[in-house]
Chain A
Amino acid sequence: MGSVIKDVTITDDHPSNFLKEKHSDYIEHYGSKHDVYEYKMSEYLRMCGLYWGLTAMDLLGNLNKMSREDVKRFVLTCQNDDGGFGACKDHDSHILHTLSAIQISMMYDLKDEINVEKTVEYICRLIQDDGSVMGDEWGEIDTRFNFCAVASLALLGCLNKIESKKEAIINYVLSCMNFDGGFGVRPGSESHAGQIYCCLGCLSILGALEHVDRESLGWWLAERQLPSGGLNGRPEKLPDLCYSWWVVASLKIIGKVQWIDKEKLTRFILACQDEETGGFADRPGDMVDPFHTLFGIAGLSLLKSTDNDVRDVNPVFCMSQDLLNNLGVKSSIIS
């Protein structure tokens, strides 16, 4: 009963140069051409999608190609009376979209246009006494939401509003730590690279990385790399480009990024590009989308493997480092 490693094969037919202009075109025209169906069907995640696209453009240094006015109008129509943001106009508020809306607002300097006070109240209402965080008023609990809440407040400069709950949030996140040093969705849930990123991000912003077992976790994360160079999110799973973000950002936060093979990973990321349309897919040869396009570009930025073609990304907020420097938003990273 020997296990076969689940992986993909990369050949010379897969792209190996960074197609910067194509990606920029892909994002700029997303939703207006052949992918109009995908665009409309993904209305339920529009705000997050907008953040992916805009951040990708920002990292490419092409944010000026997007219409600030259109973005502003859209974001403002998505803020609900409860202070949170929905995915689209008329959609209910959710912490995922609230974080995205705030990230976009920071990119476009819209802080004075949105109702910050109400947003902060909305976020604080979702934080429970035990330190867990609900996604919305319907009570789903997930460590992704801990990151969303804390990152949102940090970006708005309002972390002081949760001073009394800080200890509880840290302890809750730590209660989700597992035998492998990783973190899951809730206490008892299996470790998953995406949740690990969220938990490390949350602890980084709250200045509590001392609790992380960096040796065990760093080793586990390094073992996500497969022979193709790509990374999976859990043991015995297929590689997926988005883990080039979740895993590498996590390694970066705990100061162990040198434990993976950067060249091989870069090769995998580049192979996920679509030479015709631009954009990145989850695996070489699959359909591209904005989500993987952002994490492909951000991954390359973290690895510093495209010379100066991509701007520096911050591993905690997944936003350009320059922008965060200008905003004075800080997070701790172990170097």
Chain B
Amino acid sequence: MHGVLKVRTTAEQQEAKRIEREKKLKKLDSIKAKIFEKKKNNEFDEEILELTGGILSSIPDFLTLWNYRRKAIEKIEDKIELQKLCENELRFAKSCLQVNPKSYGSWHHLCFVMKYMPNPDWKKELDLCSLYLEYDERNFHCWDYRRFVVKNGCVSADDEIEFTSNKIASNFSNYSSWQYRSRLLPEKYPDPSQSRGIQSDILMSELDLVQNAFFTDPNDQSAWFYYRWLLTPDSPTLKLNFLQSYKQGDNLVIIVIFSKPVNKNKLSLKNNDELINTNWINISQDDIFIIHKCQVNDICMGNLSLYVDDQLQFSTIDVEKTRNDGFIFSEFTTGRIELSVDILKSQLENIQQLHDMEEDNKWVLITLIFLLMKIDQFNNYSELVNEYLEKLLRLDPSRKRYYQDLRSKIILEFYMKNYDITDVNLSNKELTSTKCNPISSFLLAKNIDLSNNKLTSIDNSHFWQNAEKINLSGNQLTNVTGIEHVLKLSQLDISNNNIKDIDELQNLKLCSNLSVVNLNGNPIQQVDNWQELLKNISSTIKFI
């Protein structure tokens, strides 16, 4: 039940309504009985159309009854009769849509009949869609029916682009039309070498159109989402960003990070063209498909090669080097086709102009941040972090965490670029998340200091593969989930967090090298017997 307001009625009104409804139900029951009787006898004739019509006109989602009508249609062999019947069916289904414009059953019946009838009039249906979309320009059933008509009635993409242009011209706030254009433009004006796969002159005029929209109404979401898409290039090619291999016991360990997600089942290793038996694991919980790890028996010679889906990704993992001091390859590239800096800068100019007029508009701010990050994140660091994101947090507190995560990312990337990669100090940075690009940043760090931030969970630990000392004191952690990925960990400081429950520390025992854990200032210390209980977790770890 959607949008039916609860109204108070008198006892008299209620009684009248009850009687009326009882009558309706009685009628419904008797028609239903007749219909199911006829169904039993396989009598799908004109009468079934009449009977089902009586119910469907008020309950258009009674799917079984639409099926019976279709059975009746399928019985007709004479073409002229069939055409006439189908025309009636179209009329009937449309009358049901007047009752409920969102009835799945009625819309599907239209599709079925149009496909089945001898001479469908696609033009008429297209006009009907245009008419319906004037009443409700967001009815997604109608847009979908329109696309069905366009496909079967061979309507050109040009005509449809024009249709959406007209819709947008009459009302910029028309998400459905923008969405349709995102499908039509790459189809009609393809250019795989350009951002979004759209020819550059078309892309430029599209940017103009959408700017018109948000300059007219900067509070409307539709245009902003579409604008963001036009400015965000896709990443057609997969790139290897990082590879580390080292010896551990009798095995060689290999860690790989890609520019975009890959399923572990697509990864393979070859030694001298021969496939090696490997079991890849997703190290992480979050960027599950970007970072992978495997172990292979140390019996290989020469080089190992890495494949994704039979495509060579990296050919020279030096086994000898791996065995001795370890082997590392690192190259950060997204594989994206970015828009030129000139284009981005001219866009930025316009957005800044709008920001001057609408300084408290969050959409303008979000877009400003987005463009500044794209153009030069490091030079714009202070404005981004101290001004714009601060302001967004104030203007739109409901999505606070989204902005805090974004701010954390900018802060991390700024500091990581200058850091000694083996010794990372990021204390007192108000971080809510430790996710950043390149995600391999943390991978070589031996000491990681993230103390006195606002972390509520350990969200990036799968990249801390080489960390031995980690300081997380003064955060808001309630558990240490994720710490189990840090296999080389020997010292952990989680003092002054919010860990209450001994069970939340069970994962610590999975870190076999861990020797010291600082737990000072956690509520856990108020648990009776806490020191004894900790001993049950591990007898080799010294808890302070």
Contacts of A281 in B (CB 8 A): 1, 6
Contact, CB under 8 Å: B138 / A2: no
Contact, CB under 8 Å: B401 / A140: no
Contact of B4 among A1, A192, A220, A287 (CB under 8 A): A287
Residue B163 is within 8 A (CB to CB) of chain A in the complex: no
Contact of B220 among A3, A38, A138, A260 (CB under 8 A): A3
Contact of A185 among B63, B144, B232, B399 (CB under 8 A): B144
Contact, CB under 8 Å: B229 / A180: yes
Residue of B nearest to A211 (CB): B261
Q: Of residues 202 to 252 in A, which have CB atoms within 8 Å of B's CB atoms? A: 207-211, 216, 218-220, 222-223, 225, 227, 229, 234-237, 240
Q: Of residues 32 to 77 in B, which have CB atoms within 8 Å of A's CB atoms? A: 36, 39, 59, 61-64, 66-67, 70
Contact, CB under 8 Å: B286 / A255: yes
Residue A184 is within 8 A (CB to CB) of chain B in the complex: yes
Bound-complex Cα distance A261 to B400 (A): 8
Contact, CB under 8 Å: B5 / A335: no
Residue B126 is within 8 A (CB to CB) of chain A in the complex: no
Within the complex, the shortest CB–CB distance from A5 to chain B, in Å, comes to 8
Q: Of residues 1 to 53 in A, which have CB atoms within 8 Å of B's CB atoms? A: 1-3, 5, 37-38, 40-41, 43-45
Contact, CB under 8 Å: B1 / A190: no
Contact, CB under 8 Å: A285 / B5: yes
Which secondary structure characterizes the binding site on chain A?
loop
Contact, CB under 8 Å: A44 / B222: no
Contacts of A210 in B (CB 8 A): 261-263, 288-289
Contact, CB under 8 Å: A192 / B225: no
Contacts of A207 in B (CB 8 A): 263
Residue B108 is within 8 A (CB to CB) of chain A in the complex: yes
Residue of A nearest to B433 (CB): A258
Contact, CB under 8 Å: B397 / A261: yes
Contact, CB under 8 Å: B5 / A286: yes
Bound-complex Cα distance A218 to B405 (A): 12
User: A-facing mask of B256-285, CB < 8 A → 1, else 0?
Assistant: 000001110000000000000000000001
Q: How large is the interface on B (under 10, 10 to 19, 20 to 34, 35 or more residues)?
A: 35 or more
Contacts of B63 in A (CB 8 A): 44, 87, 91-92, 94, 136
Residue of B nearest to A90 (CB): B36
A236 with B138, Cβ < 8 A, contacts A1-B217, A281-B6 known: yes
Contact, CB under 8 Å: B108 / A138: yes
Residue A188 is within 8 A (CB to CB) of chain B in the complex: yes
A3 with B1, Cβ < 8 A, contacts A140-B108, A185-B140, A210-B288 known: no
Contact, CB under 8 Å: A190 / B219: no
A3 with B140, Cβ < 8 A, contacts A92-B63, A240-B2, A292-B1 known: no
Contact, CB under 8 Å: A258 / B401: yes
Residue B251 is within 8 A (CB to CB) of chain A in the complex: no
Interface size of A by CB at 8 A reads: 71
Contacts of B6 in A (CB 8 A): 274, 281, 285-287
Contacts of A289 in B (CB 8 A): 1
Q: Of residues 478 to 518 in B, which have CB atoms within 8 Å of A's CB atoms? A: 481
A1 with B176, Cβ < 8 A, contacts A138-B108, A188-B183 known: no
Contact, CB under 8 Å: A41 / B175: no
Residue A312 is within 8 A (CB to CB) of chain B in the complex: no
User: A-facing mask of B100-119, CB < 8 A → 1, else 0?
Assistant: 00001000100110000000
Contacts of B229 in A (CB 8 A): 179-180
User: B-facing mask of A81-105, CB < 8 A → 1, else 0?
Assistant: 0000011001110100000000000
Within the complex, the shortest CB–CB distance from A130 to chain B, in Å, comes to 15
List the interface of chain A (C-beta within 8 A of B).
1-3, 5, 37-38, 40-41, 43-45, 86-87, 90-92, 94, 136, 138-140, 142, 178-180, 184-186, 188-192, 207-211, 216, 218-220, 222-223, 225, 227, 229, 234-237, 240, 255, 258-261, 264, 274, 281-283, 285-289, 291-292, 334-335
**Known pairs A41-B28, A180-B229 / 9 extra A-B pairs, C-beta < 8 Å:** A1-B172, A178-B179, A180-B225, A184-B140, A190-B180, A222-B399, A259-B401, A260-B398, A287-B1
10 A–B contacts, CB within 8 A, in A order:
A38-B1, A41-B59, A179-B225, A185-B140, A185-B144, A189-B140, A210-B261, A222-B399, A236-B173, A282-B2
| 3 A-B pairs closest in CB distance | A210-B289, A210-B261, A179-B182
